[in-house]
Structure 1
Amino acid sequence: MTHHAAHWLWDAPVVLAATPIGNLSDATDRLKQLISTADLIACEDTRSTGRLIQSLAVSTDAQLISLHEHNEASRSAELVDRAAAGERILVVSDAGMPAVSDPGHRLVSAAVEAGVPVTAAPGASAVTTALALSGLATAQFTFGGFFPRKQSEQTALITRLQSEEWTTVLFESPHRVTATVELLSAELGEDRQAAVARELTKKYEEILRGSLGELHAELARRQAASRIKGEFVLVLAGTSGNAGEEELSLEEAAGLVVERSQRSGQRLKAVAKELAATTPYSASELYDAATRVIPR
């Protein structure tokens, strides 16, 4: 187990910092300060980061160096050595938090292995923003990154999603999103609830909510009119959103409340409220029945 004292981490030589995902006003004061004091800024794209620094009107003497999926493995050792030698290194991606479906995780691993302290300056995240706006259950969720390109990987993910009880967040490109939602609708059922978020925090931000079948129809209509633009985040309801669970008896549903509560550590009342959205029973009915299963 690796541990560093908290007072080291506030001033750690390697800092991962979130950058705005659309709205420039989401840049934090801490991000601006880190840019101005860094000796070196490791960027997913030096041109994008250069434009961001210019837009934020922050002056810096930092060297900008590329850190992307193709060179991260080889460059991480060099960056860790420079941090160990006393340089202040800031790590940023084009948008959002580095290392979350973006470069950064190999560098963190290398720093941890070398005993070089690392910390993060939190901020905007497309994952949690889309999740919060989806209208779907948020107590438990999983993030799957970009929807896979290879058919074998798609099949493996869809097999998992068929029994996944947690809400799932996925990224997708504008030219593939319609086909992906069509595939998910065919494999997971067109009644599975979902949300499609585009242009988050930007002027044309939009959240489409509904069943996969409804969302595919709307995206297909827009694609035909050449109106599919922007970055997309897909949010899928877990299997508890399927109609099959509505056939549970009250006793069976109460047993499910107890089982999930014990497994997740959540209170019965919180689990009952979640399941109430996907069963014919109210939260109070589920809670009362669950308390009869576990005398309180």
Structure 2
Amino acid sequence: MTVESFEAKLAADKKIEPNDEMPDEYRNAALRMMKFHASSEIVGAIPEAEWIPYAPSLFRKRVLIAKVQDEVGHGQILMRVVEDLGCSREQFIQDILDDKAKYLTVFDEEYESWADIGMIGWLGDGAEIERQHTLKDASYGPYARAMHKIVYEEAFHYSQGRDLIATLMQGTKAQRDMVQESFNKWWWRAMVLFGPHDSESTHSKVLMNFKLKIKSNDELRNLFLNKFVPRIKKMGLEIPDQTLQYDESKGSWKYKDPDFTIYKNSKSLPSHQRRLKFLRQSYETNGWVRRLVELDNIPKAL
């Protein structure tokens, strides 16, 4: 396939499939993006899994277990997409264990309260839904189709977080203060999740050119603000950005820039090292399951 014919296929909004010819630049960009997403789903489940024993009720425990299971399942789906692009499952997992994987580094932080768990779902997953919803139209077919299932389940995660936060906001002053403190942190985390400004993001430009990404970082951040500012105010929370205002003439929001370098050294955090140790131990402990699956003749009793 020539470069011209490939570009014509993208221009016609036709999907690129695993067995199609594609330029190396496209394959590498798609692989980088989808490895990042898959790693984020897997690593992102760990901070929430740590809070399962501390859930305040059996109901909340069951809901959180279901959410963690979903997140790992999303990683499983995306690993298949990554495999089709040329990275084996074994190599993908090894990159995570060797601390070489790239992912949303907000998941390296310590989550300090039950309100943080609610904010992950309500504000964090709410921001991610805004981005992932547009990816249903991504040019790489398997990824676009995977987004339909993932976004559907992320909507459940958003509802879980919203319900948790709303319940706490109807509680004691101490609980409301806990939520506001958590929100003050997660507001900036959510703003960072969309990535740096378009003018500063080389990767985003490449992905947009290949239609692997449908909307730019700044567009997505603006869409997020359109939806969430009214929701935040209705929840009774105060936004920790006094400069935030809607510019009607431009149809966009003015806001204080978050510190996009805040997570640059996140892998040095104690929480990151603890979770990496947990992943490595889990991989070794459950090695017998992998070896059993690889056997040609599995006893029927098993």
TM range (shorter): under 0.3
**Structure with larger Rg:** 1
TM-score (norm. length: structure 1)? 0.22
Report the structure, 1 or 2, having the larger strand content: 1
TM-score (norm. length: structure 2)? 0.22
Structure with the bigger RCO (C-alpha within 8 Å, sep 6+) is 2
